[in-house]
Chain A
Amino acid sequence: MDNIRYDFKIEKDDFERAGEASSNIKKILRQLGLNSGIIRRVAIAAYEAEMNLVIHSNGGSITIEIDPRKVTIYANDRGPGIKDVDLAMKEGYSTASDRIREMGFGAGMGLPNMKKCSDDFSIKSILKQGTFIVMKMFLKDGD
């Protein structure tokens, strides 16, 4: 098989390790020899997804899959789910607490940023069950 997959477990409120998964993802892509533009897009999307899991979810995982045509990021969590996905996708909308905002997170840019970085973005959320995001970045010649 010409693809490779890595799973990263993300725990709720684990700010100590927050950012580690996306940092590792960046290193992997660099070693695979991808071009820095696409590495940056994937790293930003993965970072936003990772922080969302730490801040808002009950924990979950980030999975990255690379094949010769594309990079795919899966961000899956175990709830609580997003009430209104359309609202959550709006820039500046945030449900983060004041404490989280004081720490410099929760600007309401996470999901919009992830979408901006992806060529193909899909989100599905079921209350109490979880949120499931798939982001695809297609490789062009030279990437």
Chain B
Amino acid sequence: MHSVVLKEERCIGCTSCLKVCPTEAIRVRSGKAKIIPERCIDCGECIRICPNHAKSVTTDDISIIKNFKYNIVIPSLTLYGQFPANIGIGKMLNAVKKIGFDEVAEAAMGARISVHLLRDYLLKKSNLKYPIINSSCPAVIRLIQVRFPDLLPNIIDLETPIEITARVAKAETMKRTGLSYDDIGVVFITPCTARVTSVRNPLGIERSYIDGVISIRDIYGDIVRNIDSVSNGNLGKSTKESLLWSIAGGQAEAAEIENCLEVDGISNVIKVLEEVELGKLDDIKFIECSACYGGCVGGPLLIQNSFIAKNRIMNYVKVADKSVMSNEDLDKYINMYESGFLRLTEKIEPKSVMSLDTDLVKSIHKMEMVTEILKNLPGLDCGVCGSPTCRAFAEDIVKGENSEALCIVKSMEYFKNKNI
């Protein structure tokens, strides 16, 4: 069920990806990188670093639209930073539509609903567990599930803007056209690998209203070819809040949350969540975590680097209007939240994938063996053995996952001492 996959023919068995994986989910075996599925959180760090482009993502093909009578496309808010600002958001959206969709549902809608629900309703509730952690980054949620299970209750139970957009757009289209749920396809254009997984294998909800996911990379060429032949149309209904959403710290800024932390980059997220786990940040109200540097604009499936993308989006922010929502609309969305339509309704269960054994006594024995083996390893964490660190190497041996294990540094020392 993972979106991150290996193109084996391109992998040369170098150790680049081993080092960056935040959950130590990669091993090199027989000269090829292998992903341990239980550990992978689909953050895409390995895709970003692989010099041979061997790490890839399984997304849907545009032909998926043939399965539906009516197709809605939701382009990610990060799209706006992929083209020079003089092109205009409306043109970009129409260029995506022209690829073969019947309708564009702007993610700005979901972001706007999300910001108002957060600011005007959810944050005023009294039963919240502080610090509140944003639910919008699926890689962070999976990271918490694997490494910080105690913090699962801190995640705000609000749906992400993309899922909100999909749900509202699909429901409205069903009403307007009389088509059934299964007749309408919703396709998300993603900057993010973890989002692909969260559509296929959702966390916190029973099923996603999104039917297909295509990466921005894969249709970038089509957009470029279409852009000159489309007009701005009546698309591009962004507000300040929705534009800020894809930039690190933008959610907290949009929802006007004081006393918050903005953390981007998965290694930074880990550091801060460790502090939260120790109870040291209980006085903070909200922590906005994004696995990618710079926020969603730093997504692994984007073309433009995050600094340029951010600059372009910030230029739109300067001239955009603030969102105003009538009490009537707010009440409507509050009802949708309370009824579970815009809410994470399913419990996110902890995943204990780091333990050596399910039985404590066996675990203790294995841990002793790990400690013994470690005494004989050089501690260089070179990765040549195929495990990310000497410690992981020792654990792999103890767990019986690496019977042909060989430490090249130890072997060299051995031969040197023998004076061969």
Contacts and interface: CB of A to CB of B under 8 A. Distances in A.
B358 interface: yes
Nearest to A30: B354
B241 to A, nearest CB: 33
In terms of DSSP, what is the predominant structure of the interface of chain A?
Answer: helix
Given A22-B278, A36-B149, A44-B279, A31 B361 contact: no
B277 A32 contact: no
A47 B274 CA distance: 11
B29 to A, nearest CB: 21
Interface string B121-157: 0000000000000000000000000000110000000
Contact of A28 (B278, B358, B367): B367
Interface in A2-29: 2-4, 22-23, 26, 28
B150 A37 contact: yes
A62 interface: no
A31 B363 contact: yes
Interface in A28-59: 28, 30-34, 36-37, 39-40, 43-44, 47
A26 B274 CA distance: 10
A68 interface: yes
Contact of A66 (B354, B357, B364, B371): B364
Given A32-B363, A33-B358, 14 more contacts: A2-B361, A3-B364, A31-B354, A31-B363, A31-B367, A31-B395, A32-B364, A36-B149, A36-B150, A40-B150, A43-B278, A44-B278, A67-B364, A68-B361
Contacts of A39: 150
Interface residues of A, number: 23
A58 B352 CA distance: 38
> Which size bracket describes the interface of B in this complex?
20 to 34
Q: 8 shortest A-B CB distances, which residue pairs?
A: A33-B355, A32-B363, A36-B150, A36-B149, A30-B354, A4-B364, A40-B150, A33-B363
Contacts of B361: 2, 68
Contacts of B371: 4
Given A37-B150, A44-B278, A68-B360, A31 B368 contact: no
Interface of B: 149-150, 274, 277-279, 350, 352, 354-358, 360-361, 363-365, 367-368, 371, 395
Contacts, number: 54
Contacts of A68: 360-361, 364
A140 to B, nearest CB: 12
Contacts of B357: 33
Contacts of A28: 367
A23 B274 contact: yes
23 contacts: A2-B361, A4-B364, A4-B368, A4-B371, A26-B277, A30-B352, A31-B355, A31-B356, A31-B363, A31-B367, A32-B356, A32-B363, A32-B364, A32-B367, A33-B355, A33-B363, A36-B150, A37-B150, A43-B277, A43-B278, A44-B279, A68-B361, A68-B364
Contacts of A37: 150
A30 B358 CA distance: 11
Contacts of A139: 360
A46 to B, nearest CB: 9
Nearest to B363: A32
Contacts of A23: 274
A65 to B, nearest CB: 11
Interface centre among A3, A32, A37 (most CB of B within 10 A): A32
Contacts of B277: 26, 40, 43
A2 B150 contact: no
B360 A33 contact: yes
B365 to A, nearest CB: 8
Nearest to B356: A31
Contacts of A30: 352, 354-355
B279 A33 contact: no
Contacts of B149: 36
Contacts of A36: 149-150, 350
A49 to B, nearest CB: 12
A95 to B, nearest CB: 21
Given A33-B357, A36-B350, A2 B364 contact: yes
Nearest to A32: B363
Contacts of A66: 364
Given A2-B364, A4-B367, A68-B361, A33 B278 contact: no
A31 to B, nearest CB: 5
A40 B158 CA distance: 26
